[in-house]
Amino acid sequence: MTTLTAPTRPVAAAEDVRPTRRRLGPGEPIRFGGLIGIAALLGAWVVGSATGLLDPRTLTEPWTVVETAGTLVENGRLQESLLTSGVRAALGLGLGVAVGTVLALVSGLSRIGESLIDGPIQVKRSIPTLALIPLLILWLGIGEPMKIITIALAVFVPVYIHTHNGLRTIEGRYAELAETLGVTRGEFVRHVVLPGAMPGFLLGMRFAVTSSLLALVVVEVINATSGIGHMITLASNYGQTDIIVVGLVVYALLGVTADAAVRFIERKALSWRRTLAS
């Protein structure tokens, strides 16, 4: 007796049912989305100036600001001031980042280090850096060292706080797995702890950039004889609103450029993370 069997059909490949677009996420990234708000602000400035809604004695017209910037570039005043301010900010930022990172590593990787370091830094955190300027002037005078130290003091606290937090919030299961595999302490720190603390460090860098520019503005406006802040102070004394706006635009460009550089490094260094933004 012959048994008839139904012809077998080829099994279709399993379809990928994963959603191509996250319904609960922020949506697809917008190309050059960060420039939309800036363009809208500039457009409002142009419209307000052209229609007379903005008094030129209060806020100079954008075309006048562009003309003034060209004049400052021609006589070399803007480049000289920008170089001076840039060097101050870079030296203070570099010193503050180095000190904050070293202290965070010592405090984050050692209980003894934390006992000695964390308390004084929390005290410094509660004291605004700008309130220390009179004391720093008494100690260091009004020269470049005082300005650089002031910027470094404003920078190292956010770097320390976020790096230390990144070190201490690494999940304990990684340490348990490393002990199971017989990983040495040096290898564990190098391959697990430091990469795990990288997001916190880079976040601290973004705050550090902002803090460095804030401190730079203050030290240059109060007692500097050169730099963008000094140029703004002189313009304020003579009622030159156009030069003041040029200086503010330069400060803004410095901050945006530095923050963009940190964000670029963050995207490259943390490309392995899967977040809503990615």
**Which residues, other chains included, contact 62 with Cβ-Cβ below 8 Å and sequence gap of 6+?**
42, 45, 46, 49
Residue scoring higher pLDDT (25 or 59): 59
Spell 64-84 as b/e; 16+ CB within 10 A means b. ebeebbeebeeeeebeebbeb
Counting every residue written for the chain, the total comes to: 278
User: Residue 254 corresponds to which tokens in the numbers above?
Assistant: 């410095």
Residue 4 in this model has a pLDDT that exceeds 80: no
The answer to whether 167 and 193 are in contact (CB under 8 A) is yes
What is the pLDDT averaged over residues 58-84?
90
What single string gives the DSSP state of each residue in 181-212? HT--HHHHIIIIIHHHHHHHHHHHHHHHHHHH
Within 105-246, strands assigned E span none
Domains of the chain, start order: 65-270 (1.10.3720.10)
d(CA 119, CA 251) in angstroms, rounded, equals 34
Lowest-pLDDT range, 93-97, 103-107, 155-159, 224-228? 224-228
Residue 209, CA distances (Å) to 127, 129, 246, 268 in order = 19, 15, 20, 19
Q: Tell me, what's the pLDDT at 70? A: 92
Predicted confidence (pLDDT) per residue in 170-225, tens digit: 777 777 777 777 778 778 778 777 888 888 899 999 999 989 998 998 888 877 78
d(CA 209, CA 263) in angstroms, rounded, equals 11
Residue 228, CA distances (Å) to 67, 99, 218, 231 in order = 18, 26, 11, 5
Predicted confidence (pLDDT) per residue in 103-126, tens digit: 999 998 888 988 999 999 999 988
Crossing angle of the two packed helices 133-140 and 144-168, in degrees rounded to 10: 130
Instruction: State how far Cα 194 lies from the chain centre.
Output: 20
Against a cut of 0.85, is the pTM above it? no
Amino acid identity, residue 83?
L
Amino acid identity, residue 248?
L
Q: Tell me, what's the pLDDT at 110? A: 85
Residue 96 half-sphere exposure, CB side, CA atoms within 13 Å?
33
Residue scoring higher pLDDT (154 or 4): 154
